[in-house]
Amino acid sequence: MTWKHPSTPVTKKFKVQRSAAKVMATVFWDAKGVILLVILPQVQCINAARYCSTLDRLKEAIHRKRPGLLRRNVVLQLDNATPHSANFTQQWLQRYGWEILPHPAHSPDLAPSDFHLFGPLKRHLGGMTFETEDDLISDLRIWFDNLDVDFFRVGINSLLSR
């Protein structure tokens, strides 16, 4: 409660509008295209256990889409986010022998998703609104499916020059 003088004008209350909900997408891709797209439900947050369950899904997707890849060493590039650097995640990666490319802190120009994938995706989504989260997810899947294989190859190869 606020004390006011009787002659003080009434404070206007602004109508609060619900802001657009945000959706977190985790995208695993290689030079041939998207291997796995995971959309995190809005009520959940990412932690090491959830990230490792995503890595389990990635392992299954690689087995299904790129079976020869599992016979070789899988190489991931992760940033330094807590779920990626947690002991739980590191133990998971060691158990399966997956290699992690070093990634200096605050270096988005070294992450192919940051410098190659998310820019075009943001341009595609710019100004669009979706009635439901399922509509957004459907649009994301269609957009990724319609990208040319050369798009992914160029993104992975440009990592070498960075």
Residue pLDDT, tens place only, 73-99: 788 888 878 888 899 999 999 998 888
N-terminal to C-terminal alpha carbon distance within the chain: 58
Higher pLDDT, 43 or 132: 132
Mean pLDDT of 128-137: 87
Cβ-count burial of 112 within 10 angstroms (0-12 exposed, 13-18 middle, 19+ buried)?
buried
The answer on pLDDT for 55 being more than 90 is yes
User: Could you give the percent of the chain with pLDDT greater than 70?
Assistant: 85
**What is the reported pLDDT for 147?**
93
> Where in the chain are the domains?
24-161
CATH superfamily of 24-161: Ribonuclease H-like superfamily/Ribonuclease H (3.30.420.10)
The answer on pLDDT for 57 being more than 60 is yes
The answer on pLDDT for 140 being more than 80 is yes
The pTM assigned to this predicted structure is 0.77
Alpha helical stretches, state H, the chain: 48-65, 82-85, 87-96, 112, 118-125, 133-146, 149-161
**What is the reported pLDDT for 71?**
67
**What is the reported pLDDT for 17?**
61
